[in-house]
Structure 1
Amino acid sequence: MTDLSLFSTEQIAALLAALPDPAFILTRSGRYAAIFGGTDSRYYHDGSGLVGKSIGDVLNADKAAWFGQQIAAALTADRLHVVEYALHRNDIKGMEDGEGPDETIWFEGRVQALGYPVQGEDAVLWVASNITASKKLETLLRTQSETDSLTSLANRRKLMAALTEHYDLYARYKTPTSVLIFDIDNFKNINDVYGHLAGDKAIIATAEVCRDELRITDFPARLGGDEFVILMPHTSCEHALPIAERLRQRIADHLRALGTLGDGATISGGLSEMEPDDRSYEDVLKRADDALYRAKHDGRNRIVHHC
């Protein structure tokens, strides 16, 4: 540990003032007792005007309450308390339209209880580090890992997570949930006759119709190849069927309008609903897949339901 006696009071004050990240001394009641550092002007503004104010003077009630909870947690803990949090200009009192950044700013707070009172109260040292860049990268990587690169729909990984989540909700609350699985009829022939670029265009066009025609609560995903799955929460099979039929018609119209796939580009689909005896989402997906097989066997360009 550094021997502080080697430094004068002035030198220690200069060291604290030179800290790149801001360090706040906050009392249990949420009062800013002192602020040090924050010299990295790329990320921080001068916060000296906060000294003497309380968090409630600066932030809206919900955000101020959250800070108060973190201060209390750090004072109770016998170790460093680390939290991540976001601040937006809407969180700050008195911020006029156009003031402050438009984007949300993310911070990591490292909060340590002090072993002595400050202004008659227990207090913590709160060091705030701007982590917005790393949060943006994290969000980008997560999005890329969950998004199909060709269609920008959810990919298989994201779909399985959504199916698991909604199966758990169904198992608990018996909320009606339907699943449609469909693919493009004669897709291999499209690739063979018109080329793989035409096949990609057909897949992209199908995804565009899904985004345009489905409800905001529906969850479209590309399962792989020319196969798609639509998860329809809070929807019985009876109510999902007209949605599936409308989607079938719109996709056929859209594919036909491309003018590069010949006549009769259509889809076939299988529709099913989560049932009380299901042990996992795989059961409803299997029923929908079986119904899709029957749709192909019965002549294509149709939705077969297992309701």
Structure 2
Amino acid sequence: MHDEPWFSNEQLATILKALPDPAFILTRSGRYAAIFGGSDSRYYHDGSVLIGKWISDVLSDEKTAWFMQEIGKALESRNLHVVEYGLSGQDVRGLPPGGPSSVIWFEGRVQALAFQVQGEDAVLWVASNITVRNDYEVRLRIQSETDPLTGLFNRRKLMEALSDQYEMFTRYGTPMSLLMFDIDDFKRVNDEYGHLNGDRAIQVAAEVCRSEFRSTDIPARFGGDEFVILMPHTDLAQAVPIAGRLRLRIAEALRLTGDLGEGATISGGLSQLLPMDVSCHEVLKRADDALYQAKRAGRNCIISQ
């Protein structure tokens, strides 16, 4: 005696339709063979119009190539294949005006089916909208890498970037210069004008760094009133006039704040990666030594080493 099926075909169809996330049956050649679920109207629209279309009818060439590649991986491994991907308005063909203005992020869980669909291998692709989670993770990452007072990279992120630059130098010989500077007599600035104005001086220096350096350069607050700037693809000879111009720009900006009397100046140490360096810390130490030389030389100057 056989057990009776728990659900009728109609009930199973109702259950599949009620799935919160959409589940796509995609063939190896890239055709939407079937779609189930997607009932969570907060995130999904009716996708039934996709059935019978090709992925290339719906998505840009670049995204189509990516989807086809991931389908192929899932069919090859026969194991659950999990991917994260974003879709923007530019990725989807034929969107009406007023479509999404930002990237929508998904987690795709892709599993090869044990049978063929429409005469070819196929996968089940369940797409879950993870935009909220992704945005939260991005905010956490930014907070972990950013100095809250200035908005520049913090020391931890700087050291990661410096390590990456050192690896590029040792592998390809790509030059990089490093500038370390701080605000002269910063303790006096705090004592005479107050800690709020001291914070403002640090913020002004950071603003000048953002405006003066290229998008490929990496300015960071190293700690207190101390800053470090990484200048990739820049040797020492090229970095010297850049650092000199920065010194003048920051002094002028601090003077114009009107909150620091005659204003304030900076002193800096400048160095570059060298073939004999055994770690990224050596260029940092040379710049630090040069900074102290600038202090002993009377401040308001940049010394190279």
Once residues 298 and 180 of structure 2 are traced to their aligned partners in structure 1, the CA distance between those partners, rounded to angstroms, is 17
> What amino acid does structure 1 have at the position aligned with 2:94?
G
Is contact 1:180–1:230 with CA below 8 Å preserved after alignment? yes
| Cα separation, 2, equivalents of 1:189 and 1:47 | 66
Q: Normalising by structure 2, what TM-score?
A: 0.97
Contact kept in structure 2, 1:177 and 1:273, CA below 8 Å: yes
Consecutive unaligned residues of structure 2, counting only runs of 5 or more, are none
> Counterpart in 1 of 2:281?
282
Structure 1 counterpart of 2:261: 262
Query: 1:91 is paired with a residue of what secondary structure?
Result: coil
How does 1:31-70 map onto structure 2 within 5 Å? 31-70=31-70
Q: Shift of residue 279 of structure 1?
A: 1.1
Distance in 2 between the 1:229 and 1:10 partners?
67
Using the TM superposition, give the Cα deviation of residue 172 of structure 1 relative to its aligned residue in structure 2, in angstroms.
0.8
Q: Is the 8 A contact 2:256 2:263 kept in 1?
A: no
Q: Give 1:106 deviation, angstroms.
A: 0.4
Matched, 1:124 2:123: yes
How does 1:32-181 map onto structure 2 within 5 Å? Answer: 32-96=32-96, 98-181=97-180
CA distance in 1, matches of 2:79, 2:216: 43
Contact 1:270–1:305 (CA under 8 A) maintained in structure 2: yes
Change (3 A) 1:51 1:300: same
Once the two structures are TM-superposed, the CA of residue 94 in structure 1 deviates from its matched residue by 2.4
Distance, in Å, in 2 between the alignment partners of 1:173 and 1:79 is: 39
Identical-pair percentage: 65
Q: Indicate conservation of the 8 Å contact 1:89/1:99, yes or no.
A: no
Letter in 1 for 2:71: I
The aligned residue for residue 18 of structure 2 is 18
User: Aligned to 2:181, what secondary structure does the other structure show?
Assistant: strand
Alpha-carbon displacement from aligned partner over 1:106-147 (angstroms, at most 9, x marks no partner):
000011111111111111111000000000000000000000
Question: Following TM superposition, where does structure 1 have runs of at least 4 consecutive aligned residues deviating by more than 2 angstroms?
Answer: none
Which is worse superposed, 209-218 or 246-255?
209-218
Deviations 1:154-208 (A, max 9, x none): 0001100110111100111111110000000000011111111111010011101
SS at match of 2:10: helix
Amino acid in structure 1 at the alignment position of 2:9: T
Q: Structure 2: how far apart are the matches of 1:124 and 1:284?
A: 52
- Deviation of residue 264 (structure 1)? 4.8
TM-score, normalised with respect to structure 1: 0.97
Separation in structure 2 between the aligned mates of residue 215 and residue 101 of structure 1, nearest angstrom = 31
Instruction: Kindly state the Cα deviation for residue 49 of structure 1 after the two structures are TM-superposed.
Output: 0.4
Match runs of 1:211-222 below 5 Å:
211-222=210-221
1:89 Cα deviation (Å)? 1.1
CA drift of 1:289 comes to 0.5
Q: Is the 8 A contact 1:178 1:232 kept in 2?
A: yes
Distance 1:109 1:85 in 2: 8
> 2:30 is matched with which residue?
30
What is the alpha-carbon root mean square deviation over aligned residues?
1.1
| Equivalent residues of 1:177, 1:235 under 8 A apart | yes
**Shift in Å, 1:99:** 3.8
